[in-house]
Amino acid sequence: MKINRNDDCWCGSGKKYKKCHMSFDEKYEEMKRQGHMMLPRTVVKNEEQIKGIKESAKINTEVLDLISEKIHEGMSTEEINTLVHEYTVSKGAIPAPLNYGGFPKSLCTSINEEVCHGIPDSKIKLKSGDIINTDVSTILNGYFSDASRMFMIGEVSEEAKRLVEVSRECLIKGIEAVKPWGFFGDIGAAVQEHAEKNGFSVVRDFGGHGLGIQFHEDPFVAHVGEKGTGPVIMPGMVFTIEPMINQGGYEVFVDADNDWTAITEDYSLSAQWEHTLLVTEDGIEILTY
């Protein structure tokens, strides 16, 4: 059914179509005619949803800041979990990992050769030389946000330090590759180039993801790829970039003891940083800063 200039926009903003997504639709149809891969318009968030996701992301960042402030040698990952859980619920929010697909804790803590989805445990204590990813995800009023940071505990080897720094640069390169009406392959290409140039590898089995109304939405955001390929990045999309970078090979396996924790196949170190982004008409906003 054709929508008229003066009708209400399909996004639910309550604005007239011509003042809202009319030019979006012209661009969408043009790129579709050119043969590009177009995701359904349902991946585009409206203003109200974006506002909700931003409020969720604000708490998510506060949680990560709290971890940054409190993390120390000798601390158990269970203690990090308690910090995250208590702060999140004190803000009227819910830790998204808790009970997600049966995940038992309120954040993921992945140390050294653990790639992602490490489970906090009172028996796991941070020791000098460890590198740890803390992956925090928040639900506020039904809206999701997701980000992670690395921490280096005590005296860390030069090689581990370099991995942590390069993985952070990979996230930044990935973010800089995001352009409205660009391609998801641009992100993967930028991350992969930087990681491999530094002698590291990029995990294939996990990626970033759309989010906002659910924890994991379309599309899957690969951290490897080729420029100018893949689905088109559209204004109004919210998704994560969260490259997992390995010191050795990119292969991983899931720990059979808990069915969650991904570990490098060769037990080399792995590092990851993550942000949630919003694509705007002329660029991006990092929502989890």
117 binds ligand MF3 (CB under 6 A): yes
Nearest residue to 242 via CA among 211, 214, 264: 211
Residue 137 interacts with ligand MF3 (CB under 6 A)? yes
Q: In terms of CB distance, is 48 or 205 closer to ligand MF3?
A: 205
Using the rule CB under 5 A, which residue among 240, 247, 270, 272 binds Co ion?
240
> Least distance (Å) from ligand MF3 to the CB of residue 63?
12
Judged by CB under 5 A, does residue 146 bind Co ion? yes
Q: How far is the CB of 17 from ligand MF3 (least distance, A)?
A: 34
Near ligand MF3 by CB under 6 A: residue from 146, 150, 167, 275: 146
Query: Please, what sign has the CA dihedral across residues 223, 274, 127, 199?
Result: positive
272 binding ligand MF3? (CB under 6 A):
no
Bridge partner list, 246 = 201, 270
Q: Is 167 in the site for Co ion (CB under 5 A)?
A: no
135 binds ligand MF3 (CB under 6 A): yes
Q: Which of Co ion, ligand MF3, none has residue 103 at its interface (CB below 5 to 8 Å by kind)?
A: ligand MF3
Give 113 or 146: the residue with its C-beta nearer to Co ion.
146
Cβ proximity to Co ion, 107 vs 153, nearer residue: 107
* Exposure class string for 170-209: b at 16+ Cβ within 10 A, else e: bbbbbbebbebbbbbbbbbbbbbbbbeeeebbbbeebbbb
Do the strands 284-286 and 275-279 form a parallel or antiparallel pair, or are they unpaired?
A: antiparallel
C-beta of 98: minimal distance to ligand MF3 in Å? Answer: 8
Return d(Cα 56, Cα 248) in angstroms, integer: 35
> Should residue 103 be labelled a site residue for ligand MF3 when binding is judged by CB under 6 A?
yes
Binding residue for ligand MF3 (CB under 6 A) from 52, 54, 97, 221? 97
Chain CA centroid to CA 122, Å = 26
In the complex, minimum distance from the CB of residue 199 to Co ion, in angstroms, rounded to a whole number: 26
Query: Does position 217 bind ligand MF3 by CB under 6 A?
Result: no
CB 117 within 8 Å of CB 260:
yes
- What does the alpha-carbon distance between residue 242 and residue 136 come to, in Å, rounded to a whole number? 12
**In the complex, what is the shortest distance from the CB of residue 102 to ligand MF3, in angstroms, rounded to a whole number?**
8
Torsion sign over Cα 68, 73, 75, 77: positive
Secondary element (H or E) of residue 139:
strand 131-140
Q: Which amino acid does the sequence have at 273?
A: W
Contact 100, 139 (CB under 8 A): no
The rounded distance, in Å, linking the Cα atoms of 2 and 6 is 12
Of 235, 274, 278, 284, the one binding ligand MF3 (CB under 6 A) is 274
Question: Which window, 33-41, 143-151, 178-186, 249-257, contacts Co ion (CB under 5 A)?
Answer: 143-151
Residues that bind Co ion (CB under 5 A): 146, 240
Residues that bind ligand MF3 (CB under 6 A): 97, 100-101, 103, 108, 117, 135, 137, 146, 209, 240, 242, 274
